[in-house]
């Protein structure tokens, strides 16, 4: 095994370890854990087998295999980021509503206390 | 009919006492919505004996007005008046904007300040305002001369619609489109204004470019959105 592959394997291995650790700690919700687990596994598969990337690249008509890697990587990150923006927007909306409810309920509570 | 005056206030401790004093002449309830102010706005409102709610953090003017509208809806008010906490609006002008709502002829009334003696504003602002008027005309077929005015009266239908959906920041223009698209009658009446007492407009030159783009985009997005079934709530 050459050094490049060893480094790639070590890197992808640590990503997988990080993801598993985050899930174990409960810091990564199940909803996202599947996405990142799959991603880590794909990265490992690509690191282990150089043939895999070459085969796929040539099959789709790309003659410089690493560029396929960059293309897919960028597309993946782009989609994940759009997904996060959607989640963020939804969360903003929820916090917004919650803040309003808190304000209104606090007033109601204070009014009740005054009556008693 | 029961009326609620909503006073959205963000860091307005200096102006609130004056605003509340001005509002004493109006026969209706007042609610100060302290939008997570960093100063003593809430304490000042309490000292003045005005009912108030406080957001745990800043939500923007739209969020504040909506909190007020939700409060109005839940407590059986028939209509609500948006009355800014910076002292620009005059309590003696409220009658003018509620008349059409009380008569059932309008769902939302805007107090326009573009008329003689009414208001002096910069050239850039005038152009921006004109662009919004044109956009509104294009999207709803209605001409609103002063679409950025924040002195408003919301009737029962507007209370229901806007408690479900109201834009966060720079809501004035967008809410006109939302109202018109959902079949509400939006009417404009001329009112007198005061020059602001203290503090600065929330919109400076740097922000106005963003304001124009954001609002224009929001108008188009709003026009594409699915309608809200507000009558069912």
**Nearest partner of B157 among B96, B231, B97, B68, judged by Cα:** B231
List Cβ neighbours of B147 (8 Å cut-off, separation of 6 or more): B110, B129, B132, B133, B136, B172, B173, B176
| Complex confidence, ipTM | 0.85
Domains of chain A, by residue range, sit at 1-48, 64-116
* pLDDT score recorded for residue B200: 55
Q: How many CB pairs under 8 A join A and B?
A: 33
Residues of A whose CB is below 8 A from B59: 96, 99-100
Q: Label residue A74 exposed, middle or buried (CB < 10 Å: 0-12, 13-18, 19+).
A: exposed
CB atoms A107 and B63 under 8 Å: no
pLDDT of B118 > 50? The answer is: no
Domain architecture of chain B: domains with CATH: 3-232 (3.90.550.10)
At B206-216, the pLDDT tens digits run 777 888 888 88
B53, B75, B218: best to mutate for the A interface, most A CBs within 10 A = B53
Comparing B110-114, B150-154, B204-208, B224-228, the range with the smallest average pLDDT is B204-208
User: pLDDT by residue (tens digit) across B31-44?
Assistant: 999 999 999 999 99
A interface mutation test: which of B31, B43, B67 has the most A CBs within 10 A?
A: B67
What mean pLDDT is reported for chain B?
Answer: 87
Compare B126 and A109 and report the one with higher pLDDT.
Answer: A109
């Amino acid at each position: 095994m050459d050094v490049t592959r060893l480094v790639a394997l070590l890197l992808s291995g640590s990503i997988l370890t990080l993801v598993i650790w985050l899930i174990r700690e409960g810091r990564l919700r199940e909803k996202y854990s599947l996405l990142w687990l799959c991603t880590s596994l794909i990265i490992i598969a690509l690191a282990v087998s150089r043939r895999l990337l070459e085969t796929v690249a040539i099959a789709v008509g790309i003659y410089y295999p690493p560029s396929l890697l960059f293309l897919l990587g960028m597309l993946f990150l782009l989609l994940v980021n759009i997904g996060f923006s959607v989640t963020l927007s939804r969360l903003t909306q929820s916090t917004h509503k919650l803040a309003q409810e808190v304000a209104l309920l606090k007033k109601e509570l204070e009014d009740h206390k005054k009556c008693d | 009919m029961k009326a609620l005056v909503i006073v959205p206030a963000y860091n307005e401790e200096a102006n609130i006492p004056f605003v509340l004093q001005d509002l004493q002449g109006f026969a209706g309830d007042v609610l100060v919505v302290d939008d997570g102010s960093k100063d003593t706005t809430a304490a000042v409102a309490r000292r003045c004996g005005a009912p108030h709610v406080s957001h745990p953090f800043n939500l923007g003017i739209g969020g504040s007005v909506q909190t007020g509208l939700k409060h109005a809806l839940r407590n059986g008010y028939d209509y609500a008046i948006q009355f800014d906490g910076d002292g620009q609006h005059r309590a003696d002008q409220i009658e003018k904007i509620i008349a059409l709502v009380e008569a059932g002829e309008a769902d939302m009334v805007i107090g326009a300040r573009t008329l003689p003696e009414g208001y002096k504003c910069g050239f850039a602002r005038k152009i921006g305002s004109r662009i919004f008027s044109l956009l509104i005309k294009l999207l709803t077929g209605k001409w609103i001369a002063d679409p950025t005015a924040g002195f408003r009266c919301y009737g029962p239908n507007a209370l229901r619609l806007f408690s479900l959906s109201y834009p966060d920041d720079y809501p004035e223009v967008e809410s006109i489109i939302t109202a018109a698209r959902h079949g509400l009658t939006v009417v404009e009446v001329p009112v007198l204004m005061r020059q602001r007492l203290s503090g600065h407009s929330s919109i400076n030159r740097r922000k106005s470019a963003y304001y124009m783009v954001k609002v224009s985009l929001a108008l188009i997005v709003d026009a594409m959105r699915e309608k809200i079934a507000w009558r069912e709530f």
